[in-house]
Amino acid sequence: GADLKERAKMHSSEVSSFVSRARATINELANLPVPTIAAIDGTALGGGLELALACDIRVAASSAKMGLVETKLAIIPGAGGTQRLPRTIGVSLAKELIFSARIVDGEEAKSIGLISHVVEQNEAGDAAYRRALALAKEFLPQGPVAMRVAKLAINQGMEVDLVTGLAIEEACYAQTIPTKDRIEGLLAFKEKRPPRYKGE
């Protein structure tokens, strides 16, 4: 989250500018054309959780602590939290967590759908990072163009009605048809070998 000691020294105009820049940066992360995974091994409060919410997938240690706690400070989540948390866990539960400034651990976060995977923390303190890395290794062999347009189709489709979403999917699928990677995938399947994608 934000450095609250630094924030206390800021003029109100500086705070607005700071939050605006944070929101823009987090939006850039959300819009990256590749899969993003947040690994939460410790604490993700306020802006830290907003950053994680901008990722496609979240993994946390069972001992991790997460929450949008801004209302304790008489402010609201300002870097996307009021929009991304309800889209992730549902409106009513998001309101409850934001209104109460409640902090949840990894187990509760998994049970409410805030994270995709919960793991027991290890001695090194990097269990979530290791799980995130294993997930990333599952993603790596896939076709890069397909990964980019799949993310685009999902992200854009979730903001519209089903009929429009299906049209978005069709347009995204069309982007994969002329690629060399698509032909490589078919040849690799036919020849019973791993594909060698180049993102073309």
- Written as one string, the DSSP assignment of 80-146 is SHHHHHHHHH-HHHHHHHHHHT--EEHHHHHHTTS-SEEE---TTS-HHHHHHHHHHHHHTTS-HHH
CA dihedral 96, 44, 55, 36 (to 10 degrees): -160
Tens digits of per-residue pLDDT, 41-94?
Answer: 999 999 999 999 999 999 999 999 999 999 999 999 989 999 999 999 999 999
185: part of which helix (H) or strand (E)? helix 180-190
Tens digits of per-residue pLDDT, 158-190?
Answer: 999 999 999 999 999 999 999 999 999 999 999
CATH class of segment(s) 4-140: alpha beta
pLDDT of residue 161: 95
Q: Give yes or no: 159 in active site.
A: no
CATH T-level assignment (fold) for domain 144-191: Lyase 2-enoyl-coa Hydratase; Chain  A, domain 2 (1.10.12)
Q: Give yes or no: 47 in active site.
A: yes
Q: Give yes or no: 199 in active site.
A: no
The residue from 46, 47, 80, 143 that is catalytic is 47
The residue from 39, 46, 50, 94 that is catalytic is 50
| In the chain, domain spans | 4-140, 144-191
The tokens 């949008």 sit on which residue?
68
The residue from 1, 2, 127, 132 that is catalytic is 2
Q: Give yes or no: 2 in active site.
A: yes
Q: How far is CA 110 from the centre of its chain?
A: 14
